[in-house]
Amino acid sequence: MNRKAISLMLASAMSVSMLAGCGSTAAETTTGTDAAPAETAEAPAETQAEAPAETASADVSAEGDHELSVYAWDKNFNIPALEAAAEAYKTVDPDFSLNIVEQSASSDVENAITLAASSGDYSQLPDIVLFQDHYIQNYVTNYPDAWMDLEDAGINWSDFGAEKLSYSTIGGKHYGVPVDNGTSIFAYRTDVLEECGYTIEDVTGITWDRWLEIGRDVKAKTGKYLVSMDHNGDDLPYMMMQAEGQSQWKDGEPNFANNDTLKQILNVIITGAKDGVIYLCNDWTEYTDTSIIGDQVAGVFNGNWIIPTMQQVAENSGKWAITSTPTLSGKEGYAANGGSSLYVTGNCSKPELAKAFLAYTFGGGEGAIDTYDNALRNGGVITCCISASKSDVYTEGVDFFNGQSIYADIVSMGANVPVVEQNDYHYTARQYIGAAITNVINGSDLDTELQGAEDQVRFEMGL
């Protein structure tokens, strides 16, 4: 096994999910569609302290002709979406059964692939796995025998946003079918803006400099921050860079020290933190419970999976609206944060059935609308498939957002997210850039800190 593969295997054992699973045990679940809606967004797994659970497994050899197995995590989010897809596919195959093997977190799936590949024995893998977007490219590159491509699945790939597909397209071939839409929202309290003399239009299509001016005004008049973020896992730099169409990576290597766009973005964050416009929280709980649920902010900027957390403050219903992201130039910006896709493993004994199931449901086939309507109702999962967002469920107004058709809007925004270079050391970069922000706020020099962060990431990558 080469050095990079060994590094990936070790990293897999410690990897964490952007959307971590609930609970501490892995278990099989049924394909019903009566799961309760998720009440709160899940914290990144690096903020959870649960002990590792023994990973449940599937026995593909014992499956019937109409049965498939899948590994997935999060009983309140991803699993209801899979249950919705299974029910939709039964309309064309009444004998169909989907054995959903619940994992405690996405790292369980990553570890299963790594262990199977390192032993050369894929027989313990299920037919399909849910896999994080930010990790998949290296897993397909390093473990090619673990996967089947979906080139002959009959999926209309143009029905998906280019950014979402960029993760699961490797070597010019499609390997994954997108599931959850990670498109970021920038939401504002319209009542707070109005109190300060602004409207949602005043924060749409503006520069970050103008945004900071408005934020200082809002802070002075109301005491509220204009946005917050969990600084222990700070996603602001990544999302703000993507909205510019820029990356923190260049040709597979970290590009921090000589990246002028990154420096400008970090200066916005640093200035905002110093001026009381941006609330950099110490951890996930402070971010969700104190800043958002505690009503300390007039704005929320994150993946759309943050919406259930916002909805915990019932008295703010009807006072929110979503729009695009400010940029350095003032053009409307679009970004994404988090997300996963479904992949057929090399152990799948019925690849035709697996591909047909994925194409019919999440892939935009005739069952896509039923799949995603129920996935949204039961788990809050928003479609990545553009055509599925035309349903009545997606186009109806949402009371919490003052009647705005936010789900259709989110899918539309997702189609405009720029494709930027990604890297499997995404979370490593996030860690060191976050530390650089803290140090500069405390008086250090930005150029020095970015060079140090780049050197640390290069070291961890073995460059």
**pLDDT, tens digit, for every residue of 381-415?**
999 999 999 999 999 999 999 999 999 999 999 99
pLDDT reported for residue 62: 81
Cβ atoms 185, 306 nearer than 8 A: yes
pLDDT reported for residue 134: 85
3-state secondary structure of 7: helix
Q: Please give the mean pLDDT across all residues of the chain.
A: 88
Question: Concatenated DSSP letters for 434-461?
Answer: HHHHHHHHTT--HHHHHHHHHHHHHHHH
Cβ atoms 327, 243 nearer than 8 A: yes
- Model confidence at 21, pLDDT cuts 50, 70, 90, reads very low
Q: How far apart are CA 448 and CA 442, in angstroms?
A: 13
Look-up of token digits 């910006």:
333
3-state secondary structure of 372: helix
pLDDT reported for residue 377: 92
Residues in the chain: 463
- The pTM assigned to this predicted structure is 0.81
State the average pLDDT over residues 356-378. Answer: 96
Candidates 28, 79, 159; CA nearest to 340 is 79
pLDDT reported for residue 55: 57
| pLDDT tens digit sequence for 412-451 | 999 999 999 998 899 899 999 999 999 999 999 999 999 9
- Model confidence at 339, pLDDT cuts 50, 70, 90, reads confident
Contacting residues for 257 by C-beta, under 8 A, at least 6 apart: 447, 450, 451, 454
Asked whether the predicted pLDDT for residue 76 surpasses 50, the reply is yes
pLDDT reported for residue 4: 41
Least confident segment among 80-84, 271-275, 303-307: 303-307
β-strand pairing of 67-73 with 97-103:
parallel
State the average pLDDT over residues 85-89. Answer: 98
Cβ-based burial of 445 (10 A; exposed 0-12, middle 13-18, buried ≥19): exposed
Cβ-based burial of 438 (10 A; exposed 0-12, middle 13-18, buried ≥19): middle
Q: Which domains does the chain have, with CATH numbers?
A: 3-182+337-390 (3.40.190.10), 184-335+420-461 (3.40.190.10)
Contacting residues for 110 by C-beta, under 8 A, at least 6 apart: 12, 15, 131, 132, 135, 139
Structural tokens at position 317: 């219903």
Asked whether the predicted pLDDT for residue 27 surpasses 80, the reply is no
pLDDT reported for residue 152: 96
Q: How far apart are CA 213 and CA 223, in angstroms?
A: 14
